[in-house]
């Protein structure tokens, strides 16, 4: 069934809003992926605040042109069967969600991404982003790095006391025997 002109304008408006609010919009080919798999991807991505949409390329191009931020964005990669992953909370989540799903359904293939400032990044860059640790993992690593010198210092101080205690225990054992 063909979309009415009003419906197309509504979709363009919705996509323009999604693009402007999204910190990263990932484009991926989904040729050969079943509807059931796409539904599963949408459900799993929703947990991280990522919205997965399958939108006609013509409508995406019109939405990009309608947006002040994306009017100059590279549109040459927008061809074929593409799905779009939007996330307004986390910069890396759309790439991570699609990469995680691609392990189960290898028919998903990155094409590129649009950043929040309107630049287009390559599929290789999106793959690199998808392999970054999560924010919580990075915070944990930072805390561990900051606390490492302090922990080492405490262990050095405790080592002297431990040494004295070992000598005293050994002396007490020799006196008892």
- d(CA 70, CA 62) in angstroms, rounded, equals 10
Is the domain of 121 the same as that of 63? yes
> For residue range 20-41, what is the model confidence (pLDDT) as tens digits?
888 889 999 988 888 999 999 8
Is the domain of 33 the same as that of 110? yes
Is the domain of 34 the same as that of 120? yes
- d(CA 75, CA 18) in angstroms, rounded, equals 17
Residue 2 pLDDT greater than 80, yes or no: no
> For residue range 41-84, what is the model confidence (pLDDT) as tens digits?
899 889 888 999 998 988 888 888 888 787 777 778 888 889 99
Is the domain of 74 the same as that of 157? no
Q: Residue 149: its pLDDT value, please? A: 84
Is the domain of 23 the same as that of 96? yes
> For residue range 91-149, what is the model confidence (pLDDT) as tens digits?
888 999 999 998 888 888 999 998 888 888 998 999 998 888 877 888 898 888 888 88
Is the domain of 152 the same as that of 93? no
Q: Residue 29: its pLDDT value, please? A: 92
- Count of structural domains, the chain: 2
User: Residue 90 sits in a domain of what CATH number?
Assistant: 3.30.70.1730
Q: Residue 163: its pLDDT value, please? A: 83
Q: Which residues contact 41 (CB under 8 A, 6 or more apart)?
A: 52, 97, 98, 101, 105, 108
Tokens 């020799």, residue?
174
Q: Residue 124: its pLDDT value, please? A: 92
- Where does the pLDDT of residue 174 fall: very low under 50, low under 70, confident under 90, or very high at 90 and above? confident
Q: Residue 1: its pLDDT value, please? A: 57
Is the domain of 84 the same as that of 13? yes
Is the domain of 24 the same as that of 86? yes
Cα dihedral 156, 157, 160, 165 sign: negative
Tokens 């010198």, residue?
149
Is the domain of 99 the same as that of 174? no
Tokens 């793959």, residue?
127
**What 3 state SS string does the chain have?**
CCCCHHHHHHHHHHHHHHHHHCCEEEEEECCCCCHHHHHHHHHHHHCCCEEEECCCHHHHHHHHHHCCCCCCCCCCCCCCCEEEEEECCCCCHHHHHHHHHHHHCCCCEEEEEEECCCCEEEHHHHHHHHCCCCHHHHHHHHHHHHHHHHHHHHHHHHHHHHHHHHHHHHHHHHHHC
- d(CA 63, CA 18) in angstroms, rounded, equals 10
Which residues form the domain of 175?
133-177
Is the domain of 14 the same as that of 76? yes
Is the domain of 61 the same as that of 110? yes
Is the domain of 69 the same as that of 124? yes
How much is the average pLDDT of 147-165?
Answer: 82
């Amino acid at each position: 069934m063909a979309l009415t002109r009003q419906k197309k304008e509504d979709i363009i408006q919705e996509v323009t809003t999604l693009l402007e609010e999204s910190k990263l919009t990932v484009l991926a080919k989904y040729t050969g992926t079943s509807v059931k798999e796409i539904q599963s991807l949408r459900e799993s991505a929703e947990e991280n605040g990522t919205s997965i949409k399958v939108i006609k390329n013509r409508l995406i191009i019109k939405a990009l042109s309608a947006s002040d931020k994306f009017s100059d964005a590279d549109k040459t990669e927008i061809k074929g069967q593409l799905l779009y992953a939007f996330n307004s909370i986390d910069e890396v989540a759309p790439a991570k969600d699609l990469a995680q799903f691609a392990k189960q359904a290898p028919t998903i293939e990155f094409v590129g991404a649009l950043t929040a400032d309107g630049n287009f990044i390559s599929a290789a860059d999106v793959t690199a982003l998808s392999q970054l640790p999560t924010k919580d993992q990075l915070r944990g690593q930072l805390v561990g790095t900051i606390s490492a010198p302090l922990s080492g210092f405490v262990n050095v101080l405790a080592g002297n006391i431990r040494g004295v205690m070992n000598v005293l225990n050994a002396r007490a054992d020799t006196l008892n025997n």
